[in-house]
Structure 1
Amino acid sequence: MKKALCLSAVLLASGAANAEGEAKWGYSGDKGPENWAALSPDNAICSGKNQSPINLTGFIEAELQPITFDYQKGGQEILNNGHTVQVNYASGSSIEVDGINFDLKQFHFHAPSENHIEGKSYPLEAHLVHASEEGDLAVVAVMFEEGEANEGLKQGWANMPEQAGDEHPLSEQASASALLPSDRDYYRFNGSLTTPPCTQGVRWLVMKQPLTASQEQIERFADVLHEPNNRSLQPVNARPVLQ
């Protein structure tokens, strides 16, 4: 039952609004991240010891196996759920990690970045969210630095819904491959979803090589969201960060 609920949180526009249109959680004030665990019994794990995001540092050398990416064009629709802009993905694209196949369900963005790398924050971070048949979760995170315009963002940005709850079909299916760097080396740690219900046991795979996005692209996303949508850094505790 727990894994079914976790998968629902990934697939749905989680936390957008209740029937009265009032946001269930947010990034500031009484509904901000420091209060998520108290907002609902379903969010209790938000105060757990294996939460994301983190500052990735103190790396442990490990023989990490390459991630096997099998991405097809499959981005069908883009939506604004009030907390991020998200592209929902058709079935048929996946990664393989630890001998397990994880299907790509959606990708979305945070500005500024949620994870930091050796203390560095980035202006934009993409999360490509995957789930196995058993309901286990894996997130590929990609950082963006300000620089050249990013071709992989252009289609979604041109169709970006400006109001919470708005959803637009994409006339041509988007490809998540365009959001991956050429160098697929990565950091790995065990964490959680960065939004309620903050489900733990998530495999985090953070690409080492950042991509670029133009100032205009970064500002466009920030203007639509109206406020930063990054959860504060969480304690690493005893978790190893592998590279």
Structure 2
Amino acid sequence: MGAKKFTVFIILVGIASLLVAYVNAHDHMAKFGYTGLLGPEKWGSLSPEYLACSNGNIQSPINIEKNNVVRSAKLEPLAREYKPANATLVNNGFNIELRLQGNAGSLLIDGESYILKHMHWHSPSEHTIDGNQYPAELQLVHQSHNGNISIVAILFQFGDPDPFLFQINDHLDRLAKESCEADEEAQIPIGVLRSKQIKQVTQVHFRYVGSLTSPPCTQNVIWNILGKVREMSKEQLAALKAPLHEDYKCNSRPTQPINGRSVELCKSDFY
């Protein structure tokens, strides 16, 4: 090999090494998106682990049609009991998440206890009601001891500030600054999180069986959509979006086909 070709070879190897290093450094970041070649309609082809995103027949989110829900006599009001727990605010690339440590409280469904593990926001809302989409949706993810998942979803419209978000306002500002300075997952410990404000009583909720709304789109998730739409300010939603890359500021999956599933309604007589 001549000296010139050898030099070119060394340069190409160097470039390849940099590319590999870059990919490895970003390997933990989301390899799916919400637009273009990484958008929801492509998720099923991005990885064998994501096949359910395209092949699953009980996918989420869905549009809830009030005229078609089934009022269930056996469906009881949600039994939730949350308690203060240490939390970490995380920008995981495709949404803003609060990860909880230890036992942060539980949700009781059909006699089975589901422990609150984390919560995250989507904007605009992923679930819709009679075709109406809301500015934001908070999803509280619970898991039972045998790995079953149940999620409580809270829809938000613009209005008065959400008291719960006051606890993390300053931390969101810090997260936005750290996210701008580094491409890797940014985490901000926030200490003890008081979850009382996310347990407001609501006498109406919808339940159906679906999936995770982001890859790998795991199915057989029990969804509980609260009927009471809460409020947050436009400034609070902007703060939640600020740490995210521009491509992920709108991070809601389109609604999926019902495919014959029933949506149950729990509505107390005194509501």
State the TM-score, normalizing by the size of structure 1. Answer: 0.88
Aligned to 2:257: 235
- CA, structure 1 residues 155+30, in 2 after alignment: closer, same or farther (shift >3 Å)? same
Task: Give CA deviations for 1:63-85 in whole Å, capped at 9, x if unaligned.
Answer: 21122111001141100001111
Aligned to 2:64: 56
What is the one-letter code of the residue matched to 1:36? W
Residue 21 in 1 paired to residue 26 in 2? yes
Task: Give CA deviations for 1:162-203 in whole Å, capped at 9, x if unaligned.
Answer: 2161100003x1133312333242100110000110000000
Offset at residue 90 of structure 1 (A)? 1.9
Between 1:175-184 and 1:215-224, the stretch displaced more is 175-184
Name stretches of at least 5 consecutive residues in structure 1 with no aligned partner.
1-16
What is the one-letter code of the residue matched to 1:86? E
What is the one-letter code of the residue matched to 1:188? R
Residue 201 in 1 paired to residue 215 in 2? no
What is the one-letter code of the residue matched to 2:210? G
- Mapped partners of 1:197, 1:119: distance in 2: 25
| Native 8 Å contact 1:142 1:180 kept in 2 | no
Offset at residue 18 of structure 1 (A)? 6.2
Aligned to 1:141: 153
Structure 1 residue matching 2:167: 3-state secondary structure:
helix
| Native 8 Å contact 1:181 1:209 kept in 2 | no
Percent of residue pairs identical = 34
| Native 8 Å contact 2:82 2:199 kept in 1 | no
| Native 8 Å contact 2:156 2:231 kept in 1 | yes
Match 2:38 to one of 24, 31, 36: 31
- Mapped partners of 2:186, 2:227: distance in 1: 33
Bigger Rg, structure 1 or 2: 2
State the TM-score, normalizing by the size of structure 2. Answer: 0.80
| Native 8 Å contact 1:123 1:144 kept in 2 | yes
Residue 166 in 1 paired to residue 174 in 2? no
| Native 8 Å contact 2:80 2:199 kept in 1 | no
The aligned runs of 1:64-213 (5 Å cut-off) are 64-92=75-103, 93-160=105-172, 161-162=175-176, 163=179, 165-171=185-191, 173-213=192-232
More helix by share: 2
- CA, structure 1 residues 18+122, in 2 after alignment: closer, same or farther (shift >3 Å)? farther
Structure 2 residue matching 1:113: 3-state secondary structure:
coil
Offset at residue 158 of structure 1 (A)? 2.2
- CA, structure 1 residues 87+18, in 2 after alignment: closer, same or farther (shift >3 Å)? farther
- Mapped partners of 2:242, 2:102: distance in 1: 31
- Mapped partners of 1:179, 1:124: distance in 2: 15
- Mapped partners of 2:169, 2:264: distance in 1: 33
Aligned to 1:14: none
- Mapped partners of 2:253, 2:86: distance in 1: 25
